[in-house]
Amino acid sequence: MVEDEPALTFRLQRVLEEAGFVVDVAYDGEEGWYLGDTESYDAVVLDLGLAKIDGLSVLNRWREAGRTMPVLILTARSRWSEKMAGFNAGADDYVTKPFEMEEVVYRLRALIRRASGHAQPELACGGLRLDTHSARVTLDGVPVQLTSQEFRILAYLMHHAGRVVSRIELAEHVYDRNADHDSNVLDVLLGRIRRKIGAEMIRTVRGQGYLLAAPDQ
């Protein structure tokens, strides 16, 4: 999230984290551009009226550099010409201030789903189902109880089911940039998830990472 209003940033960060997101924050365009250019994010919330580098310039730089993460513009600029400039720069969605916090949550979830090729809010892999709106997971119709960290790991693997996800990629997407990516902790969490959904659902691909796939695939 690149936003220069501390009070708004604090409130939105808290809402996003309560919704299951891991959030990195930048308070000016220069820091925001750097993070977006050097880290692999699932999505970005970008204000336009930023210090040092304005939001449109930040977005243009990302797109020119080939950065493809979904970007949700968050701004007080409500004129159509300003919205069009944002879309032309490569924005994927647009929310004007003031706004409902939950609207940002739902829009981000939709952007992330679509970016990974999922049109519906429910992700499926065999008998495993994950509802991105309610954060509810079921296996053959039976609820699966997960901790917040377990849910983030499983949700990322579900978004990328059928593709090998490296350990580094998984850690980068389920922990914030200041966290200690202890591989032992990740192993423990994956072990817990396997016990809850079946060890055969998450396969370890030696030297490459993890693959979530239905047992018969």
Indicate the domain borders of the chain.
6-115, 122-212
Q: Is the pLDDT of residue 47 over 80?
A: yes
Can you give the pLDDT at residue 201? Answer: 95
Give the list of residues 6+ apart from residue 186 with CB closer than 8 angstroms, or none.
153, 167, 170, 171
Peptide bond before 98: cis, by omega within 30 degrees of 0? Answer: yes
pLDDT given at position 119: 87
Contact (CB, 8 A) for 213 and 201: yes
Mean pLDDT, residues 159-167: 95
User: For residue 142, what pLDDT is reported?
Assistant: 97
Taking the C-alpha atoms of residue 159 and residue 140, their distance in angstroms, rounded to an integer, is: 19
Q: If you average pLDDT over residues 26-55, what whole number do you get?
A: 96
Residue 173 binned pLDDT confidence (cut-offs 50, 70, 90): confident
pTM value is 0.82
Is 113 in a helix, a strand, or coil?
helix
Greatest pairwise CA separation for the chain in angstroms: 53
Confidence of residue 81 (pLDDT cuts 50, 70, 90): confident
Is the pLDDT at 1 greater than 60? The verdict is yes
Question: Does the pLDDT value for residue 100 go beyond 80?
Answer: yes
Average pLDDT, stretch 138-160?
95
| pLDDT the model gives residue 32 | 97
Determine the average pLDDT of the residues in 77-91.
Answer: 87
Give helix 183-197 / helix 167-174 axis angle, nearest 10°: 90
First to last CA, the chain: 37
136 touches 149 (CB < 8 A): no
Q: Which residue from 72, 130, 139, 147 is spatially nearest to 104, judged by alpha carbons? A: 72
**Amino acid at the residue 158:** M
Write down the pLDDT at residue 45: 97
Does domain 122-212 fall under CATH 3.40.50.2000? My reply is no
Who's near 194: CB < 8 A, 6+ residues apart?
201, 202
Mean pLDDT, the chain, integer? 92
Any idea how long the chain is? 217
Using CA atoms, how far apart are residues 47 and 160, in angstroms rounded to an integer? Answer: 28
pLDDT at 181: 57
Backbone torsions φ then ψ of 133, nearest 5 degrees? -80, -50
The whole-number pLDDT of residue 175 equals 80
Write down the pLDDT at residue 151.
94
pLDDT at 83: 85
Superfamily of domain 6-115: Response regulator (3.40.50.2300)
- pLDDT at residue number 141: 96
> In which band, very low, low, confident or very high, does the pLDDT at 137 lie, cut at 50, 70 and 90?
very high
For residue 208, pLDDT beyond 90: yes
Structure-block tokens of residue 12: 């939105």
Residue 8 tokens, joined = 């708004």
Q: At what angle do helices 6-18 and 101-115 cross, to 10 degrees?
A: 60
175/152 Cα distance (integer angstroms): 9
- Where is average pLDDT lowest: 108-117, 131-140, 169-178, 198-207? 169-178
